[in-house]
Amino acid sequence: MASPSSNSSTVRTIKTYAVIPKTNPQAPRQLHLSAWDLGMLTAHYIQKGLLFANPPDLSVEQIVEQLRSSLEEALFHFYSLSGRLRLDTCDGGGVTCHVELGCAGNGAELVHAVADGIGIADVVVADGQDLPKFLKEFFPLDQLVVNFDGCTDPLLAVQVTELIGGIFVGCSFNHVIGDGTSFWHFFNAWAEIARCKAAGKEVVLSWPPLHDRWFIGGYGEPPIKLPYSSPAEFIVRSSQPLLRERMFHFSTESLANLKIRANQECDKDTISTFQALSALMWRCVTRARCTPREQITGYKLAIQNRTRLQPPLMPNYFGNSFNAIRTTTTAGQLLDNNLSWAAWLVHQLVNDHTDCAIRDLVHKYMDNPRVYNTHMSDIPIVMMISSPRFDMYNCDFGWGKALSVRSSSAGKWDGTVVAYPGWEGEGSVDLEVCLSPEYMHALERDEELLAVISPPIELGILSGASNK
């Protein structure tokens, strides 16, 4: 099926619902934000979604109502998502931000939409094709974030889009409220509630969220004061660059061989599969860019803090708890040496992110609080976000396993690499690579990459397994 033109809108809104949960007596009136949260004030919404084949014996209206009622109950437990961000100017200077809860009209949005002429094959995408531009229309709240009057759009919005042969459930989740771990925690809990309600069972969440934010000692009671006179000083609204986006699939066997290669080359056994894969992408993108030999290039990783802190945070900690860490070298050194040399740089970067390093970063932030301009870099980088460890394909609303995971264009720049678990599991990985068109043309022909990537899972196999 030919995809519709990317120059015109392909999605029609049928109806928008306000989803307002019952009052949770355990919810505070306001929720103060941590250093990790505040840094995300200008980040785009996290926008990820799942593609499903049409559930048997359910009309679209029944599906939308099932999602609406289960979302209402999910928001009762994940109450921070039903609030609004509130920015206030302090007497004597400075801006504070908190989540305001329990106010009239707060809640989330659920949009029912139709994508004319688009089928599930257009979303899954055949091998060798770019991801379609219309994917961004599958997500509400495509643009950020905080208005200059100190109020915000909903912190959560969902869009259920009808396709030929399936539906797409897209979720927009304000990054101030949580990171990728929290996003998929919420998505799985929402699906669990939907399954329980459909089966007539009592809803008891396997992993109820822990909303209490983590603050480092020695800086007084929250809220944290940002050194600005108004939101206008730090709110950044930027247009997305022209990019091509491609999915590359790596089978379990291919990744196992890549890990063996990286460890044999340096006569070690400590380089992980993901470190070897990260090094591969750093090398291949740098080569595709024809980066000058003397130019400094970087690998940047969004890395979790939860298990690295001592004592560790609870696994159901709901909020942001990650840092973006970076290692650098020259393009000449990166490409003249073998894969293991780059993988060892990545290994050291991850290994050095200890409890002490995390606390040092938080102390530095507290000494100089700020809002990050998340898309700027002083050197060409490869930025790895998301994680193949996130539990994406177990988000089962009672309709079977999703056919694929897709994201919007929000928060992507030249060199962004989004990591997903492979559909078949068992350690397989999908990478969504975002590059300027001329660089992507070269990457598609990179011999080192071509030797490792695997054929994607065919749509017929996906559809057949999801209906079992």
End-to-end CA distance of the chain: 25
Q: Is residue 384 part of a domain?
A: yes
Q: Is the pLDDT of residue 73 over 60?
A: yes
- Residue 467: predicted pLDDT: 61
Q: What CATH number is given to the structural domain containing 259?
A: 3.30.559.10
What is the DSSP code (8-state) at residue 70? H
Whether 110 and 174 map to the same domain: the answer is yes
If you average pLDDT over residues 348-377, what whole number do you get? 93
- Residue 143: predicted pLDDT: 52
- Residue 3: predicted pLDDT: 42
Selection from 411, 391, 393 nearest residue 403 by Cα: 393
At 144, the pLDDT band (50, 70, 90 cuts) reads very low
| Domain limits for position 369 | 244-466
- Tell me the C-alpha distance between 414 and 434, whole Å: 6
Q: Is residue 297 part of a domain?
A: yes
Whether 106 and 157 map to the same domain: the answer is yes
At 47, the pLDDT band (50, 70, 90 cuts) reads very high
Whether 31 and 56 map to the same domain: the answer is yes
Whether 248 and 224 map to the same domain: the answer is no
Q: Is the pLDDT of residue 299 over 90?
A: yes
Q: Is residue 3 part of a domain?
A: no
Q: Is the pLDDT of residue 1 over 50?
A: no
- Residue 152: predicted pLDDT: 63
Name the percent of the chain lying above pLDDT 90.
81
- Residue 376: predicted pLDDT: 66
What is the DSSP code (8-state) at residue 59? -
Total number of domains constituting the chain? 2
- Boundary (domain end) residue, out of 184, 206, 233: 233
Q: Is residue 47 part of a domain?
A: yes
Q: Is the pLDDT of residue 378 over 90?
A: no
Q: Is the pLDDT of residue 236 over 80?
A: no
Q: Is residue 2 part of a domain?
A: no
- Residue 9: predicted pLDDT: 61
Q: Is residue 4 part of a domain?
A: no
- Residue 11: predicted pLDDT: 94
- Tell me the C-alpha distance between 32 and 23, whole Å: 19
DSSP string, 246-301: EEEEE-HHHHHHHHHHHHHHTT-S---HHHHHHHHHHHHHHHHTT--TTSEEEEEE
Whether 313 and 193 map to the same domain: the answer is no
Whether 203 and 266 map to the same domain: the answer is no
Give strand pairing partners of 299: 327, 382
Selection from 316, 80, 340 nearest residue 206 by Cα: 316
- Residue 5: predicted pLDDT: 40
- Residue 4: predicted pLDDT: 45
- Tell me the C-alpha distance between 216 and 362, whole Å: 7
| Of residues 466 and 356, more confidently modeled | 356
If you average pLDDT over residues 265-286, what whole number do you get? 96
* CB contact set of 121 (below 8 Å; sequence gap of 6+): 1, 165, 459
Whether 79 and 187 map to the same domain: the answer is yes
- Residue 8: predicted pLDDT: 53
Q: Is the pLDDT of residue 105 over 80?
A: no
- Boundary (domain end) residue, out of 195, 214, 233: 233
At 190, the pLDDT band (50, 70, 90 cuts) reads very high
- Boundary (domain end) residue, out of 183, 203, 233: 233
Selection from 32, 181, 19, 11 nearest residue 99 by Cα: 32
**Window from 149-163, 170-184, 386-400, 449-463 with minimum mean pLDDT:** 149-163
Average confidence score pLDDT of the chain: 92
| Of residues 437 and 4, more confidently modeled | 437
Whether 248 and 220 map to the same domain: the answer is no
At 6, the pLDDT band (50, 70, 90 cuts) reads very low
Backbone angles phi, psi at 25, to 5 degrees: -65, -20
Whether 368 and 451 map to the same domain: the answer is yes
At 198, the pLDDT band (50, 70, 90 cuts) reads very high
- Tell me the C-alpha distance between 443 and 179, whole Å: 29
pLDDT in tens, 173-189: 999 999 999 999 999 99
Three-state SS for 131? coil
- Tell me the C-alpha distance between 410 and 295, whole Å: 28
- Residue 415: predicted pLDDT: 96
Whether 224 and 294 map to the same domain: the answer is no
- Residue 466: predicted pLDDT: 65
- Residue 238: predicted pLDDT: 67
- Residue 384: predicted pLDDT: 97
Whether 287 and 397 map to the same domain: the answer is yes
Six-digit token string for 67 = 């999602």
Q: Is residue 433 part of a domain?
A: yes
Whether 120 and 159 map to the same domain: the answer is yes
Q: Is residue 127 part of a domain?
A: yes
